Amino acid sequence: MPVVNLEHKLAAFADHWSPKIVAAFNGHDVMVVKVKGEFVWHSHADTDDLFLVLKGRLTIQLRDGNVTLNPGDLYVVPKGIEHCPVAEEETHLLLIEPVGTPNTGDAATAAAKAAI
């Protein structure tokens, strides 16, 4: 497996809220994504949701309060908890999810994940 340079991977695309798979890890997709604006309220019934901020600032809205993440901060939303990620400025994230996990919690509305 070659070394994955996250900056190079992030420079390869411009779209927001469209995770790109950069590696595989024990049945999980390791992804980078650029986000800006507000995503949709959603939850994941069967898996936790991990967010690691590489650049920018992310607020994860939760029904009982918000969590704000800065570069280097990591937060795990427990499975079944409704949340809504929001980025006032373009923010770069690293995500790790079980293969096939839809980013909206619903396969019918999820963004397609492409490997880069």
- At 87 the pLDDT is 98
Token pair, residue 75, equals 């937060």
Helices (H), the chain: 6-11
Residue 52 domain-assigned (yes or no): yes
**Is 11 part of any domain?**
yes
Residue 84 has pLDDT above 90, yes or no: yes
Within a domain: residue 26?
yes
- Mean pLDDT on 72-85: 97
Position 89 scores a pLDDT of 98
Q: What is the CATH number of the domain that holds 20?
A: 2.60.120.10
Question: Which tens digit of pLDDT belongs to each residue from 12-71?
Answer: 999 999 999 999 999 999 999 999 999 999 999 999 999 999 999 999 999 999 999 999
Q: Does the residue 1 lie in any domain?
A: no
User: How far is it, in rounded angstroms, from Cα 82 to Cα 99?
Assistant: 20
pLDDT at 97: 92
Q: Is the predicted pLDDT of residue 104 greater than 80, yes or no?
A: no
Beta bridge partners of 55: 92
- Domain of residue 16 covers 6-102+111-115
pLDDT (0 to 100) of residue 42:
92
Bridge pairing between strands 114-115 and 20-25: parallel
Q: How far is CA 73 from CA 56, 57, 69, 110, in A?
A: 11, 9, 5, 25
